[in-house]
Each structure stands twice: as C-alpha cells, then as structure tokens.
Amino acid sequence: MPDFKNPFRPGAGHTPPYLAGRQYECKEFLRLLSQERILENLVLTGLRGVGKTVLLETFKPQAINDGWLWVGTDLSESATVSEDKIAVRLCTDLSILTSGIVVSTSVVQKMGFSSDVELTEHTLGYQTLLDIYNSTPGLALDKLKKVLETAWRVLSSANHPKGIIFAYDEAQNLSDQAQKEEYPLALLLDAFQSLQRQGMPLMLVLTGLPTLFPKLVESRTFSERMFRVVFLKSLKPNESGEAIHKPIEYDSCPVKLSEDSVQTIIEMSAGYPYFIQFICREVYDAFMQKIDRGERASVPTKEIEQKLDTDFFAGRWAQATDRQRELLSIIALLENCNNEFSVQEVVERSKAVLEKSFSSSHVHQMLGTLSTQGLVFKNRHGKYSFAVPLMEKFIARQGLVT
C-alpha cells in the first residue's frame, strides 16, 4: 500500500490540507487591496479555532501577488503593553523589508534624522529606524509617524509597491493601560489614521478574538469607520463536506468515507474548522486500523466525543470553580447560549432551576472572571457568548444542572 499519511491537522495555525469556504472573506480582502486611498482597514475576528490565522496566511501571497509588501507577526502580550514597545515592534517588522536598502547620509538627514546621532550604517536597518524614532522630537505619535513615513518613502522609491500591509495576529492582546498612562493601541490607530489621511498606502490587517473590535472602538471611536469587520463563522455544511473529503479523495488514499460518515462528521463538528480537523484525524486513524483488520468501519462518535472532552474541553472546565460551573450549566440551558445571552436571562433561568439562584450583580461579576479565563466573551452590546465552540454540549454532558 502506498505511503499515504493522515492529512488532517488540528492545531493552532496549522495549514489545513484543504482550506474550505472563505471565498467571501477573500473577496472582501481583495476589495480592500484595490482601494485608491486607504479608507478601510481589515479586522478579521471570530472564536478560537475558527480559522483566522490560516486565512491570514493565505492573504499574504495574494497581497504580494497584487504588488503589496507585507509585514507583521503574532502579537505577544509583552510586546504591546507600552508605546515604546509597539514602536519597537513596528521597527522590527519594517526592518525586514528595509534593511537591504542602502541610503545616503544626506537622505537620512533630510528625513529628519538628527545629525548629532552618529550614523554607523547606511542601510535602513532596525537600529537606524529605532534611532529615527528616538531622535524625532515630539510625542510618540510624531516619532512613529516619522519612522513609517521614512520607511515608506524609501521602500516606495526602491521598487514601487502598491503599499504595505501590516498584519497582526492575536491583536486582541493590544491594550491601552490608563493607569500607567501607556496607550499603545491608540498610538497605532492614530498613526495609521493620520498617515492614511495623507494618502500613504499603509494598511492594517488585524486578526483576533471577538474582544478585538470592541477594544479598538473603546480606544478610538473613529475605529468604527476605519475598519471593515469580517466575522469568521463556522463552515456551511457543503464547505465542511469539502474540508472532510477533499484531503482524502486520492486513489492512493486507503481511507474512503461514505456519505453517511461525512454527514456524521459535519454534525459532530458543527462546521467548526478546528473540530473538523480533530475529528477527521481520529476517524482516519480509526478507519486505518479497521482496514488493517479487514473490518468495516464507521465513525466512532462516542470515542471521539470522549477524546474531544479530555483533550479540548476538560482543561478549560478544570479552571472553573464549582459555583462557576453551576453558572455555566445554567447558561448552557439557554436556547440562545450559542448566539448571545444577557445577564438578565441567566438570572431568570437560575431562579427557575436552582435552589440558591444567582443575583444580577453576582452574574455580572462572574461573567467578568470567566471572560478573562477565556470561557465567555462580552460583545459591544453588553451581551455574552461562549468563547469556545460546542461548549454547551460539553457542559450538558457533565449533567450538573438539568
């Protein structure tokens, strides 16, 4: 038998064997690329495991093919707590593009690079960008704008790109810190808005959890107009079907799935990309074993559910206290728990089913804690949703409250 390996890849940021759906999102991205002037930037948001990172990865070659430059990274929390740190982040990312470009001392001086800083190199590398930042007089905003302007001027005269995309994954980690008087998020938004107004084609593409966009708006209300928000959802049934069968529709693939099996996987996963990869990888292995033993195979739903519970849900559940679990169980009883629910709805349901019900302020406070634990999230209208897909089914299986 030829050596066909299990193609499915559950795991954060792992390129799927076949990227299903997402035509609409790609079209939106291409539309933003075609802007004469950057009026709209992109926020790509959605629950963990829905496919933001891998979609962002596919945007990159499309943008480059279209003549754009691309910089960016995964934003770790530590990189983004202060204004200077976000500036260092941008200098680091830009320097990958600019470091090969040699500039004369006079050019650098004309760009505002003060002459009392000794120029040790004539390439626009990280250190030079950082020196420009540090030596530009004024506020952090003036400094950052100078860096971006300089980099753009040099890059645009070198090979005439359409613009630069700044792509930041996990951007919900960006945070203004009022107590410390550090506003890195506001700084980023102000700098891009101001430069875009001057006609500079520098575009932001931010991806992150559903807390991202509310955070942007909270920092700067103009974010409402500055971003096109694309909310990634689970895949439609036909797209899920493609994600399941396309990776194995090869003659050399020993595993064949019946229409029934595909349907079962679509239902179990509810179209969530991470679950599709997870379940398919298990199904593939299970089928291989059966084939080896010459048996007929079907999807082992109970076993897979069990494995999902221990591998995916149990860790999150373990973090919750008894009382939080009780609250989560109440939420899982709500018909609209998959969509969004209000504090009031939780309070009412708890009165109906619990001896010791929850008060409104208690629910508020507990949902706040559960948000920081990444189990629920609050949207801009003050309503909540589960932050983990299919959580309500897992909770129901625990049978705590009925």
Ligand X SMILES: Nc1ncnc2c1ncn2[C@@H]1O[C@H](COP(=O)(O)OP(=O)(O)O)[C@@H](O)[C@H]1O
User: If binding means CB under 5 A, how many residues of this protein chain bind Mg ion?
Assistant: 2
| Residue at 149: amino acid letter | E
- Give whichever of 136 and 240 is closer to ligand X, judged by the CB atom: 240
Residue 29 as a binder of ligand X (CB under 6 A): the answer is no
Residue 51 as a binder of ligand X (CB under 6 A): the answer is yes
- Give whichever of 187 and 308 is closer to ligand X, judged by the CB atom: 308
- Interaction pattern, residues 54-83, with ligand X; x per rule: CB under 6 A: x-----------------------------
CA distance 295 to 134: 70
Residues forming a β-bridge with 228: 42
Residue 12 as a binder of ligand X (CB under 6 A): the answer is yes
331 close to 346: Cβ distance less than 8 angstroms = yes
- Give whichever of 22 and 220 is closer to ligand X, judged by the CB atom: 22
Residue 377 as a binder of ligand X (CB under 6 A): the answer is no
CA distance 308 to 219: 37
DSSP 8-state code for residue 272? -
Using the rule CB under 6 A, give the single segment among 268-276, 299-307, 357-365, 393-401 that binds ligand X. Answer: 268-276
Q: Which residue has the tokens 């430059």?
A: 69
Site for Mg ion in 40-99 (CB under 5 A): 52-53
- Give whichever of 201 and 208 is closer to Mg ion, judged by the CB atom: 208
Tally Cβ neighbours within 10 Å of residue 181. Answer: 9
Minimum separation from the CB atom of position 278 to Mg ion (A):
15
- Give whichever of 53 and 95 is closer to ligand X, judged by the CB atom: 53
Partner in contact with 277, chosen from ligand X, Mg ion, none, beta carbon below 5 to 8 Å by kind = ligand X
Angle value at C-alpha 208, between 79 and 318, nearest 5 degrees:
90
| Beta sheet of 68-74, edge-to-edge order | 68-74, 163-169, 202-208, 41-45, 227-231
- Give whichever of 125 and 273 is closer to ligand X, judged by the CB atom: 273
Residue 14 as a binder of ligand X (CB under 6 A): the answer is yes
Residue 13 as a binder of ligand X (CB under 6 A): the answer is yes
Element holding 334 (H helix, E strand): none
CA distance 54 to 74: 12
Using the rule CB under 6 A, give the single segment among 12-20, 82-90, 182-190, 394-402 that binds ligand X. Answer: 12-20
Q: Which of 6, 264, 277, 329 binds ligand X (CB under 6 A)?
A: 277
Minimum separation from the CB atom of position 277 to ligand X (A):
4
DSSP letters for 203-252: EEEEEE-TTHHHHHHHH-TTHHHHEEEEE--PPPHHHHHHHHHGGG-STT
Is the dihedral angle over the CA atoms 231, 77, 182, 136 positive or is it negative?
negative
Q: Which of 6, 7, 16, 33 binds ligand X (CB under 6 A)?
A: 16
40 φψ region: left (φ > 0), alpha (ψ -120 to 50), beta (else)? beta
Angle value at C-alpha 384, between 379 and 388, nearest 5 degrees:
100
- Interaction pattern, residues 305-344, with ligand X; x per rule: CB under 6 A: ----------------------------------------
Using the rule CB under 6 A, give the single segment among 46-54, 218-226, 250-258, 279-287 that binds ligand X. Answer: 46-54
| Residue at 64: amino acid letter | I
Scored b (16 or more CB within 10 A) or e, 268-294 reads: bbbbbbbbbbbbbbbbbebbbeeeeee
- Give whichever of 11 and 61 is closer to ligand X, judged by the CB atom: 11
Residue 136 as a binder of Mg ion (CB under 5 A): the answer is no
CA distance 136 to 140: 9
Minimum separation from the CB atom of position 163 to ligand X (A):
25
- Interaction pattern, residues 233-262, with ligand X; x per rule: CB under 6 A: ----------x-------------------
Residue 10 as a binder of ligand X (CB under 6 A): the answer is yes
CA distance 229 to 331: 27
Q: Which of 6, 33, 49, 317 binds ligand X (CB under 6 A)?
A: 49
Residue 234 as a binder of Mg ion (CB under 5 A): the answer is no
Q: Which of 70, 274, 384, 386 binds ligand X (CB under 6 A)?
A: 274
Q: Is 303 exposed, middle or buried (0-12, 13-18, 19+ CB in 10 A)?
A: exposed
Q: Taking CB positions, which residue lies at the least distance from Mg ion?
A: 53
List of residues 6+ apart from 31 with CB closer than 8 A: none
DSSP 8-state code for residue 14? P
Q: Which residues bind Mg ion (CB under 5 A)?
A: 52-53
Q: Which residues bind ligand X (CB under 6 A)?
A: 9-14, 16, 19-22, 46, 48-54, 243, 273-274, 276-277
